[in-house]
Amino acid sequence: MDSPKLIDQYKFVREEIKQEYTLMTARKNWLMIPQTFLFTALVLGMGENQPFKLINSVYYPLIPIIGILLLIIPQLGICGTLRKIKSWKNKQRLIERDIKKLCSNEKNYYLQDNQPISYFLAIANYILITPIFLFAWLYILEFNLYYAVCLSIICIFATLILANTFEKECD
């Protein structure tokens, strides 16, 4: 395969990865926006005359339960997007390998640095936002602090497993 065709494939794959990140950002926004409205409704439901306790809200425990359920749907979409990004990144690595073989004497300015830590840092906010909200809702539901932390940590690992981030990468 010639170099221009490989470069076009590389650009196409990079564009697909960019599109997946855009989709994932939209899904993160879908996850966060309802949470803020639910927290606001819960606080407004307390009224003026009651002591400042969320348990006194007229919407307690309905809103925290709805908040937890509304975390699941966008998070599943985020996991699916992470899987697709992983697949595109594997294709990108294969194309990069071919480009490097073909153009071993030239400088490849268009090739991206693909360090595993870069990938993890790029997806960290998508992985960690759900456990943070989960912890907050569980704490509001007066779960034992230990159980709330444990469930949040389990949520992080479930996301990583569903997103298949531990899968061996292609060489």
Domain chopping of the chain, boundaries? 3-162
Q: Which residue bears the tokens 């994932």?
A: 24
Chain Cα centroid distance, residue 143: 25
- Closest listed residue to residue 71, CA positions, set 153, 164, 133: 133
- Per residue in 61-95, is it b (16+ CB within 10 Å) or e — as a string? eebbebbbebbeebbebbbbbbbbbbbbbbbbeeb
- pLDDT for 16 equals 92
* pLDDT score of 170 more than 50: no
Q: pLDDT per residue over 140-154, tens digit each?
A: 887 777 777 777 777
Q: pLDDT per residue over 94-131, tens digit each?
A: 888 887 777 665 555 555 555 666 667 777 777 788 88
What are the tokens at 19?
């599109």
- pLDDT for 12 equals 92
Task: Name residue 92's amino acid.
Answer: Q
Q: By three-state DSSP, how is residue 139 classified?
A: helix
Residue 171's pLDDT band, with cuts at 50, 70 and 90, is very low
- pLDDT for 56 equals 67
Q: In this predicted model, which residue has the larger pLDDT, 102 or 69?
A: 69
**Among 30-39, 63-72, 92-101, 143-152, which is the least confidently predicted range?**
143-152
- Closest listed residue to residue 158, CA positions, set 127, 112, 133: 127
Compute the mean pLDDT over every residue in the chain, rounded to the nearest whole number.
77
- Asked if 137 and 68 touch (Cβ cutoff 8 Å), the reply is yes
